[in-house]
Amino acid sequence: MRLQTAPAVSGPATTFGLAAIDEGIGERTPVTTRAAIEAQYARHVATLAAQGAQVVVLPEKIASLPPAEVARFQQQLGQLAGRQHVWLAAGIVEETRPAGRNLLWLFAPTGALAATYQKHYLAPPEQGLAVGQAYEVRHLAGADYGLAICKDMHFAALGRTYGQRQVAAILVPAWDFDVDRHLAAGMTATRGVENGYVVVRAARAGLLTVSDAYGRLLGEQASAPLPGRTLRVGVPLATAYTQLGNWWGWLCVVGGAGLLVLGRRRTPLALAFQPAAQLEKAP
């Protein structure tokens, strides 16, 4: 019934831009490849901004760099956001010792770093990285946004925490494994349905997707190697949020308990309404 009805929207319309290149940047990446990736992301962001994008999301781990190079890369992305006057979210790994950090940087249209989020739930290949614990909510483009990274959105508790904080949307840089792209995108979209917010997810080796609070897939595009792919979607943001908690789940528990009680009383009740002749034959 809800899918057949236009969702109630009280927030502003926002145009999202997503871009993904399957290749990433690391210490051993050839200089020419690294330059090509950086230049192509800059072109994608510029194109999306020219098409009206206000918020642009890039994938998880677009670069994995030692601390000496992190500052330069951060400055580069900040300048890109400032030149194009967009909010820019991008994922990067900072290879600090003894444990690195999987981060999401959010840059304001001024070029300033507005937020840094650290991934909470690490995939098996990331066990050497530090675990994040803080949640980040920022007001941008007229609404409150939450930040998360890839596997974080596979866990209902994290999604609900952002719902309780009344976010209208979540920005999710991600990196999939090709074969799991639809599963990962679907699990992430489910958090939006559970808690009433839009999910904007840009994945390497996966899908670029935007889904609403009803589970509607508003836009989808498969990622690709250089030069990569982009997606642009306009979304009216609602201000729905989680208020009552997992009321449906607890209602099912109560209903199940009630049915169990009725089931135990079924035999005496059934006997009470049987004809006397049948009762005489009953053992």
Q: Which two tokens stand for residue 164?
A: 């309780």
Q: Which two tokens stand for residue 66?
A: 């030692």
Beta bridge partners of 118: 103
Cα–Cα distance, 212 to 142 (Å, whole number)? 17
Q: Which two tokens stand for residue 63?
A: 């670069």
- Mean pLDDT over 126-133 rounds to 91
Q: Is 168 a residue whose pLDDT tops 90?
A: yes
> Among candidates 163, 127, 167, 113, which has minimal Cα distance to 145?
167
pLDDT band at 84 (very low <50, low <70, confident <90, very high): very high
Q: Sheet of 143-147: strands edge to edge?
A: 137-140, 143-147, 169-175, 198-204, 207-211, 217-222
State pTM to two decimals. Answer: 0.83
Cα–Cα distance, 139 to 227 (Å, whole number)? 32
The DSSP symbol for 46 reads H
> Among candidates 122, 196, 116, which has minimal Cα distance to 154?
122
- Mean pLDDT over 243-255 rounds to 72
